[in-house]
Structure 1
């Protein structure tokens, strides 16, 4: 979907593409409230003046054609009205469907989606000075380096150690084996073993010097022609790392062409925004949540003390971390989840307002958009009830978005995998959503990952049997993912289930169970709980738990010195999840000196009993110290006979009057 103008009073220009489809103006108007133009036949060519005339008047203009967007942009530029022009594809995505299928409601949904203003995506600059490393064997790497040396500053690192008769002009030649490569375009860092430089002098062929391990260097671009294991994880997603099979000349030519273009300043999106204060990765050197670390395909996420850090240069924006993050610390910016909820709501509402029933959401990336176009032009096209929605990263569409889509009015959600889709992440999110839907009477079988690369086969799948509408009253998706999950689950279940919904291990919702016999109320769990789900009472020994805030990070379970805590993954949909409940409470102990309440009575008594037979505490005032509050214990130790700084009782202050009385014998 192209970036388009999105204002409430836009005018929609309709075109039937030379009679090849039939836009349903009435349904679009009912679903969106837009005033549609008369039906045109060729807005991109013969009737292009209609677009120019519409742009000459005030207000935004929306053209129902995306194929000829470049042509419409030219018209808008000539009219100095580019900021008022937008377009939306209703032909390939809705114009060609099965015989007799109503496509008007879907057209209305697509137009409603196009009218929403897309939030600005944060960008940052990446600078490359063109310092390039070519890595591989002599036969391929030297000719490649000679080519690139014309436009880049090149160092070629050979994986073999031949004698060099004629080094390539303008390129340095070394030999070595890359042990580790980190970073991305403009800031690669590498560690090299068996590193040696080409000897600068000598007669005949030139040889390399003595090899050394652990050499370190940096560069902007890496061209890997070694043919071995990739030097970085998910190499196809690493900016500046170009890899080709050295036995494939076309592939080598392709990466050399790409490398030659990587000089200058580039803008890269800030895909993920990290709020460190919300991260539950670690506390007190105890590891808790590692969900984002486990799923990041590029290795862009790494521990950084009590939280994680994201290397924005390495991050490829797959969105998997935001889908699995239980606290919202990692949040996708492409787009923000709130905008995604608005899109789905707008499409579902427009579909219903246009007279449609049982819409099905098809979530896809750019690869899926091309499959939809091919399936429409050369096959059956999408069914009339299937509403496609393109997003930047499929893995960011997690269980919260799936449940929200169903609760907003879609009867089913299909996710169309692309070649580089993180299938395991999406599969795990579907499994979690299905577990939550187990409480819904008709919840099963409404979520699906479609892994199909053939457009015709995709159309056959989508034209197959589909779930019936579930009849759920649409929700108003507000707040973050966790709030929306709870709201959607209750709506889809038709109320509040009698018992919590059991969830698979690793789910980000659940309860904490405490073995009250083992718990000593040390409260280390409450002090380090990152979300405040566990809390203490400053007035008495008490441990409370609020289930709605628990993200099942496992810190409390790992930190408990008595191993008295156990996590139970579940989703409590009743209001009881929001109210703190006491897990354990005891009577405080009264100080034997001042009567102040402190500590836990059972613990003080147990310690006193256990130490009663110890030599240091038998027939000693030391036993009394255990039963004193902090202030009384300090005073007792200061005035005790064994205190190292004891100086006896403080002398009485003598005044002038006391002196005079003593002198006159009146004292």
Structure 2
């Protein structure tokens, strides 16, 4: 938390009570300035020189950062109180919201991990001759350009850059590491007066750092706008081509690529023993960055665009968003709610936005009604980081509702799925706002009747699954068992006891340990709280005796093991020890004894009814013992070999 807040009312256009704000936040506040970025610039410089000051103005952040650099002071954090709280047509008290925003700004958020990506400026340009060659001429001085023309193109009359001809069959990778394969590849032969092409060959392979696609055709990659280093433009639209050329010219050097998602393979519920279970991340990844690696999945960090869809839908927690870590988002949610309520606010509403939504809030504040005083904005890196667990945590912390403002390029199906689950668990208090007009955003938020918020607020901790359970119990204390959508990651395993043979194949494959056995008795046991609804148990069951029931059991029975199916054990006919399942052993005896060639002998048939130890003992002592043999030969020593040599 900063030692001092530097306040400015932006030429008297907003009301800020510095004394009340200081009392509510516990942070020292400066006097209320009116034009900190112009006539008050000397005051701002003095505050920056003192260090650990937060400037409560985001509009002039660049100015204050340049000022700090001039006086050798650290760049100050800047907080937007004006657009998010001060500029509003709502005549209510803005103090609780401002206090919440200040408290959240004081949190320390871990920096995202990353890796260096090196681009040396090797650029492949695709497209028709007139467009691609013109683009190459503009980029030839800043990039190492190669133009790939189609098979009918005529040889160009320039050697300022490389030109080849052929069919691009495959492309993979991202910025700094694209790999391409070209069939019917022909290189330019600039010999004599009439240049020509070399003989065509298939399977040509190469690499490049940047791909500039000016073909106007189908994209080389899924979600092309999220593939770093791959630039597309409509060749018929000159401004978009110019933008692409400018972007390409800037893609030279060393860049830091964030590592958006952390992967814990041991927790993955994707597959076991060749049986497929959960495929949520594989199905939803827009860029194709995730692939199956046997029992778990792998993520190519160079292709991952950080949308967080995989982490939000992962039922086991094997994939978690890490830029920043998930737990920091829960801290931000709880800090906002706690500070708002502590400052005397009642029933706040949370508005979740990304950068696009932040711009809409600023436009609504400057040109329209702004936000109501009880709407607290929370800006996140990726909208899909805000799933059902985060919604429920917000409601449990004291927010009356949670609204998520949709943005272009966001995976809407993920958010709709998560919000449906959140509403089933939290009582229909979450809405997805599909609005592109700032005025419509304001009108929608002003025109809503706000429900009561949770009275006895809680701040749950733990994994996303644990937080979901704790929050739901607080929100729905009398619910017992809540039915959930079919794709929910919570639920029960139902067993058809008339079909189940207690083979326990399901137990051996269960990735979370929800299904277990009893080492002393033939039992199939189940702990509902641990069930991921991945489907591995149902897929492996040879009798097809298992079905899944999506639900959240809020009773204590979900936290302990219950017996789904049990049978009487069989007693060994020799020693009397219990082993196996009585009904299964009797069925085997009935089917094989006297009817199968290996069990015609009553003694052999009787072995079916023996435990492992007695069966081995009986086999060893029976006639034609398969384990029997002659006396073991004497171990030969060195003397034996030496005496044999002497005899010869």
Residue 196 to residue 633, structure 1, CA distance change in 2 (3 Å): farther
Farther off after superposition, 352-361 or 390-399? 352-361
Q: 1:637 aligns with which of 603, 619, 627?
A: 619
Match of 2:26 in 1: 33
Q: Which residue of the partner structure matches residue 485 of structure 1? A: 468
**Mapped contact 1:337–1:480 kept (Cα < 8 A):** no
In the alignment, structure 1 residue 270 sits paired with structure 2 residue 259: yes
The reply on whether 1:366 has 2:358 as its aligned counterpart is no
Q: CA 1:566–1:181 in structure 2 vs 1: closer, same or farther (change >3 Å)? A: same
1:99/1:402 CA distance change after superposition, 3 Å: closer
Q: Which moved more, 1:310-319 or 1:147-156?
A: 147-156
Q: Is the 8 A contact 2:100 2:335 kept in 1?
A: yes
- Unpaired runs of at least 5, structure 1: 1-5, 438-442, 652-667
Q: Secondary structure at the match of 1:476?
A: coil
Shift of 1:644: 4.9
Distance 1:174 1:639, change over 3 A: farther
Q: CA 1:154/1:255 → structure 2, altered by over 3 Å: closer, same or farther? A: same
Deviation at 1:507, TM superposition (A): 0.5
TM-score of the aligned structures, taking structure 1 as reference length: 0.91
Counterpart-to-counterpart distance in 1, 2:576 and 2:616: 15
Of residues 575-584 and 96-105 in structure 1, the stretch that sits farther from structure 2 once superposed is: 96-105
Task: Check the 8 A contact 1:31/1:109 in 2, yes or no.
Answer: no
* Range moving further from structure 2, 330-339 or 630-639: 630-639
1:326 to 315, 319, 329: 315
Instruction: Evaluate the alpha carbon distance shift between residue 629 and residue 120 of structure 1 in structure 2; reply closer, same or farther with a 3 A threshold.
Output: same
- In structure 2, the partner of 1:115 is 106
- The aligned counterpart of 2:639 is none
Whole-angstrom distance in 2 between the partners of 1:72 and 1:628? 85
Name the CA distance, whole Å, in 1 between partners of 2:131 and 2:563.
70
Q: Which residue pairs with 2:385 in the alignment? A: 396
**Where does residue 157 of structure 1 map in the other structure?**
148
Secondary structure of the structure 2 residue equivalent to 1:475: coil
CA contact (8 A) 1:27 1:105 kept: no
Q: Shift of the alpha carbon at 1:537?
A: 1.5
Match of 1:663 in 2: none
1:341 aligned counterpart, secondary structure:
helix
Q: 1: CA distance between counterparts of 2:549 and 2:491? A: 5
TM-aligned CA deviation for residue 430 of structure 1: 0.7
**SS of equivalent to 2:554:** coil
Residue 61 of structure 1 deviates from its aligned partner by 1.4
Distance of 1:171 and 1:25 partners within structure 2: 65
The one of 13, 21, 26 aligned to 2:14: 21
CA distance change for structure 1 residues 312 and 247 in 2, over 3 Å: closer, same or farther?
same
CA deviation vs aligned residue, 1:127-159 (integer Å, no higher than 9, x gap): 122222111222212222233232222222113
Match of 1:62 among 50, 54, 57: 54
The answer to which of 183-192 and 116-125 deviates more is 183-192
Q: Residues 468-492 of structure 1: CA distance to partner in whole angstroms, max 9, x if unpaired?
A: 2233321112111111111111111
Q: Does 1:625 align with 2:607?
A: yes
Of residues 281, 285, 303, the one that matches 1:296 is 285
Are residue 190 (structure 1) and residue 180 (structure 2) matched? Answer: yes
The count of corresponding residues between Structure 1 and Structure 2 is: 632
Counterparts in 2 of 1:244-283, with a 5 A limit?
244-283=233-272
- The structure 2 residue matched to 1:47, chosen from 40, 45, 49, is 40
Q: Deviations over 1:217-269 (max 9, x none)?
A: 32211111111111101100110000111111221121122112212211011
Q: Does structure 1 residue 570 correspond to structure 2 residue 551? A: yes
Runs (5+) with no aligned partner, structure 2: 634-648
Check whether the contact 1:199–1:209 (CA below 8 A) recurs between aligned residues.
no
Distance 1:62 1:559, change over 3 A: same
Query: Could you tell me how far apart the structure 2 residues matched to 1:28 and 1:303 are?
Result: 53
**1:622, CA displacement in angstroms?**
2.0
Q: Please give the alpha-carbon distance, in whole angstroms, between the structure 1 residues aligned to 2:497 and 2:631.
A: 47
1:144 alignment partner in structure 2: 135
- 8 Å contact from structure 2 (residues 116, 257) kept in 1: yes
Question: Does the 8 Å CA contact 1:363/1:413 hold for their aligned counterparts?
Answer: yes
